[in-house]
Amino acid sequence: MKIRLIPVLFFKDGNLVRSENFDLHQILGDPFTQVDRYNSWNVDEIIYLDISKSKNYEIKNKINFKTKSFFDVMQRASAKCFSPMVFGGGIKNLTDAQSYFQNGADKICINTIALENLEIISELANNFGNQSIVVSVDVKLVNNNYKVYNAKNEKIYDYDLLNFIKLIEKKGAGEIFLNSVDRDGNGCGYDIDLITKVSKSINIPLIPCGGAGQFKDFKDLLNSTELTAVAAGNLFNFTERSYEKAKFYLKNEGFNFR
């Protein structure tokens, strides 16, 4: 199978932001420019997450487009983008999920609601299809043990990580988006040990993220673990034509990218 290279965008309080350790957020600009750029590069897929804790914000953009909510961002971004788009952030029930699909999502990404109620995964999968449900799992190292973390309420769950991951698959998730909190925005390379353990425990696609600082980090991960997708955020935001360059590099290294 060909490997997908997936850029990740974070939307917070009206702006696109750079994330570091799920805590520090640097404003990058309006929520549309980077989507337009990725569209021109014909990316495999885009994951776009709303990490705003409040919905009382003004969306600033340089184009003549009136925006009042993340739904407006979704509509405009998906209308201009030819690549599949995964949207997430604030989905609490089937009605929210339906609204996301109606406003341009090809897939949805859920996090908090899955931590609180695993059955919602089955409900969503039964209504919209397994292939359209991505479950996000954020992992933090605590006393040298991998723990499930929720940035929304800064809570660490005392789940056995691999058992929890297997339950997500069993309940009907189509993919798992795995993010390392400790590596987020640090550019120090992927947590290959974590990713390998999770990848070997499931049969559905895993999308690892967190830690990519140079193209070689993709190579190191893919040489260590069999994957069909890999994601990154900041690396694609600060390097000119970074996505195209990454694809060129990885194809030259012998990897089967689209």
> In terms of Cα–Cα distance, which of 81, 94, 99, 90 is closest to 52?
90
Q: Are 81 and 100 in contact (CB under 8 A)?
A: no
| CA distances (Å), origin 139, targets 43, 111, 143, 167 | 26, 12, 13, 16
Annotated catalytic residue 50: no
Q: Are 87 and 97 in contact (CB under 8 A)?
A: no
Active-site residue (options: 13, 50, 138, 217):
138
| CA distances (Å), origin 159, targets 114, 163, 164, 196, 216 | 13, 8, 6, 18, 32
- Nearby residues of 48 by Cβ (< 8 Å), 6 or more positions away: 8, 9, 11, 35, 73, 74, 77, 85, 86, 87, 88
Q: Are 8 and 233 in contact (CB under 8 A)?
A: yes
Q: Are 28 and 238 in contact (CB under 8 A)?
A: no
Pairwise CA distance, residues 125 & 103, whole Å: 18
Active-site positions read 138
